[in-house]
Structure 1
Amino acid sequence: MPRRGRHPASEPRSPSMSVSTARARSTVTHHRTTQVDGVELFYREAGPANAPVVVLLHGFPTSSHMYRNLIPALADRYHVIAPDYPGFGLSAMPDRKEFSYSFAKFADLMDGLLSQLGATRYALYVMDYGAPVGFRLALKHPERVTALIAQNGNAYEEGLQTFWDPLRAYWADGSATHREALRPNLGLEATKFQYLHGVKDTSRIDPANWVHDQALLDRPGNAELQLDLFYDYRTNVALYPRFQAFFREYQPPTLIVWGVNDPFFPVEGAKAYQRDLPNAELHLFDTGHFALEDKGDELIPLMRDFLERKLPATSR
């Protein structure tokens, strides 16, 4: 249900409250739910209500849980919002017979959530599925996007290589045979692989990541909606020219941070952004798909430096 009462981030600071205490309070993450178009959405929120907004859009098969460490690292300076899509994390999982699991629908719901929260301008951190969701938001409201941070999230054909061949086969005919061929991508070994492949020191990766994600994937009915989304991903590829046109026309300040050992979104996809965003700042890391899990100690300072240089003083 919608939030009630005073927003904690907007509470007045008492004269006796120290700066350090106020900062500590601003970095507390609040866990909330609200209704958007009849769908209950879960989101994490932190930071001063009047600060520039940073929206964190998650990938597959995770949720806003993937940003649990990043949120407090940004919330001393920014109003951070990290939602879960329907069927992911702690958001509702409507019956797929009554709800369209599509990237277009996800973008509509994220747009509704941000409007409800009064976020009229925002920087977007997009990762994996977060890229097509975020770039669809940008097409809806290009004037609202203050900056982009792309982390292993694609917008170019160069980023779709061998891994995508079985998905392309499914996109071509939508057959049950090709759908079933993708089902192993929803199992524990595949989820664990996403976190560990390409990581040199796997002790840096918390095993709770894949345990958490897999428990949610294993909910009755979740596999089918995920397979629906695999099929719908073709609509994102069809929009790549429009995403690229947005980059060229609006030239949002852009930071690209990329795990180069990612088997799903190879480094060619990262470099392609610079074709349309020649001023984009590109940083490559010797790690895999979930680069933030492994290299957060290096990525977060880069993000903070980028945002401090590029974001306006206010964004609401």
Structure 2
Amino acid sequence: MAIVQAKTISFHSHHHPQLLPSSPTASTSSFVHGQLKSPACKNRRKCLRISCTYEDDYLIDAPVSEGDGFSFFGGKYSDGSSPADEWFKQGKIVKAVTVSGSGETAKDPIFGLDLGSASQADEIFRWFCVESGNADNHTVLLIHGFPSQAYSYRKVLPVLSKNYHAIAFDWLGFGFSEKPQPGYGFDYNLDEYVASLESFVNEIANDKVSLVVQGYFSPVVVKYASKHKDKLKDLILLNPPLTAKHANLPSTLSIFSNFLLGEIFSQDPLRASDKALTSCGPYQMKEDDAMVYRSPYLSSGSSGFALTAISRGMKKQLKQYVEEMRTILMDNSWKIPTTVCWGQRDRWLNYDGVEDFCNNSNHELIELPMAGHHVQEDSGEELGKVISEIFRKRRLIG
């Protein structure tokens, strides 16, 4: 550990493959996939095992015949269990955010064809999340960036679970959470994401939580935090867009916002998942990991349409949200302990101006030299230790 400046600590990254964590269950208002058992959860009264019927209408690794009839790609990798299946089994479904809209059958934006159940929504949206650790411990919410999934925190969860109750979730439109077609209950603008995060946090936690958020969803989380300071204990930002130069999406992501071209390219799982994740840093995606990220795009066109919608939402509102985030974090009234962790090998967001921002706003800056934009992918286990150490020091001071 080397001191870079007064409030900047540098950590060196090493890769240590981790076993995926077991997941304790949550409240009785949630559905649990399968029979989950976790040695980390000692309070059996809070570890209910409830069978889940969600599997019937959300097919992982589905054959073409079971898709919505629109996805340009499809089919199973094999007849056996896939890494996506295994990841899904460790999670649960939480219902949060009341669905708005007409309730009509969702149609694709190109040909007007009826879409499958993955693009429809009932009364309350279903969010997929994986949790690890004792539910009696302080809750740490791990929030992925754009575009990614809760799966990106798979190496962080086991580290945090030793002392905390860690939860990683998929935003609406991503991973294995619901992906309603825009115009049928959720339009994927950033204001909706702020409101939906409020509902989700209220559903899973009664007490204060610590938030860890990566990348382009950082401005959304900071805006939520500014409205609900009484709900937060700590905030950690992983490679957030902090400067005016950061307020534009890279070409790899902005291409999904193009008229018609976005709808077409977003249906290609290799472009939507693999390229989007590997073009932003040193991350080398293993095939088993790629299978998890591709799975939603292979089974339904709704994943691609959601990606296009949020890309357009980001393009319209990101600059405004970045400016608001800067104002919030630099305001003297901001009292929530905040740390910026920065992967130095980020190919999307330039480091210039980040150090100055942290000095001027008096926020701690921690550099991870070997990580890229998706810090949790490149240095997952190390990041888990960094987060634990941040919390430990703050608890000693507080």
Using the size of structure 2 for normalisation, the TM-score is 0.63
Q: Does 1:11 align with 2:38?
A: no
* CA 67–146 in structure 1, closer or farther in 2 if over 3 Å, else same: same
Instruction: Give the direction of change, closer, same or farther, for the CA distance of 1:196–1:242 in structure 2 (3 Å limit).
Output: closer
**Is the aligned partner of 1:206 residue 2:286?**
yes
Matches within 5 A, 1:1-316: 2-3=29-30, 10-11=43-44, 31-36=91-96, 37=98, 38-99=124-185, 100-160=187-247, 163=250, 167=254, 176=259, 180=261, 184=265, 187=268, 188-189=270-271, 191-197=273-279, 202=284, 205-218=285-298, 219-233=300-314, 234-248=316-330, 249-268=333-352, 270-271=354-355, 273-311=357-395
Q: Distance in 2 between matches of 1:181 and 1:97?
A: 17
Greater displacement, 263-272 / 229-238 = 263-272
Distance 1:210 1:269 in 2: 33
CA distance in structure 2 between the partners assigned to 1:32 and 1:201 by the alignment: 28
**C-alpha deviations, 1:127-162, integer Å up to 9, x for none?**
124313311321221232222221122243132468
CA contact (8 A) 1:57 1:64 kept: yes
Q: Larger C-alpha radius of gyration, 1 or 2?
A: 2
**What's the offset of the Cα at 1:91?**
1.1
How much does 1:30 deviate? 5.7
Name the CA shift for 1:151/1:279 in 2 (closer, same or farther; >3 Å).
closer
Unaligned runs of 5+ in 1: 14-28
Give the residue type in structure 2 aligned to 1:227: T
> Distance between the aligned counterparts of 2:326 and 2:396, measured in 1?
24
1: distance between equivalents of 2:293 and 2:142?
18
Shift in Å, 1:276: 4.6
Return 295-304 or 227-236, whichever deviates more: 295-304
The structure carrying a bigger helix percent of its residues is 1
Residue 308 of structure 1, CA deviation: 1.0
Distance 2:214 2:229 in 1: 19
Deviating 4+ runs (over 6 angstroms): none
Work out the CA distance in 1 between the residues paired with 2:248 and 2:189: 22
Classify the secondary structure of the residue corresponding to 1:268.
coil
Structure-1 separation of matches of 2:309 and 2:379: 32
Query: How many angstroms does 1:181 deviate by?
Result: 6.1
- The alpha-carbon deviation at position 185 of structure 1 amounts to 6.8
Contact 1:55 1:81 in 2 (8 A): yes
- C-alpha separation in 1, matches of 2:249 and 2:188: 25
Same amino acid, percent of matched pairs = 18
How many Å apart are 1:216 and its aligned residue? 1.6
Relative to the length of structure 1, the TM-score reads 0.77
**Partner secondary structure for residue 286 of structure 2:** coil
Structure 1 residue 167, shift from structure 2 partner: 4.0
- Relative to 1, partners in 2 of residues 1:167 and 1:30: Cα closer, same or farther, differing over 3 Å? closer
The alpha-carbon deviation at position 58 of structure 1 amounts to 0.8
Runs of 5+ unmatched residues, structure 2: 1-27, 33-37, 47-88, 99-123
The 3 A distance-change label for structure 1 pair 192 and 272 is farther
Question: 2:127, 2:362 → 1: CA distance?
Answer: 36
CA distance in 2, matches of 1:77, 1:102: 35
Range 32-41 or range 189-198, more displaced: 189-198
CA distance in 2, matches of 1:74, 1:156: 30
Q: Equivalent residue of 1:250, what SS?
A: coil
Instruction: Provide the residue aligned with 1:21 in structure 2.
Output: none
Q: How far did 1:212 drift?
A: 1.9
Deviation at 1:42, TM superposition (A): 1.4
In 2, Cα distance between the equivalents of 1:224 and 1:152?
Answer: 26
Number of equivalenced pairs: 290
Contact kept in structure 2, 1:53 and 1:122, CA below 8 Å: yes
Check whether the contact 2:198–2:224 (CA below 8 A) recurs between aligned residues: yes
User: Is the contact made by 1:30 and 1:46 (CA closer than 8 Å) also made in structure 2?
Assistant: no
Give the superposed CA RMSD.
3.5
Decide which moves more: 48-57 or 263-272.
263-272
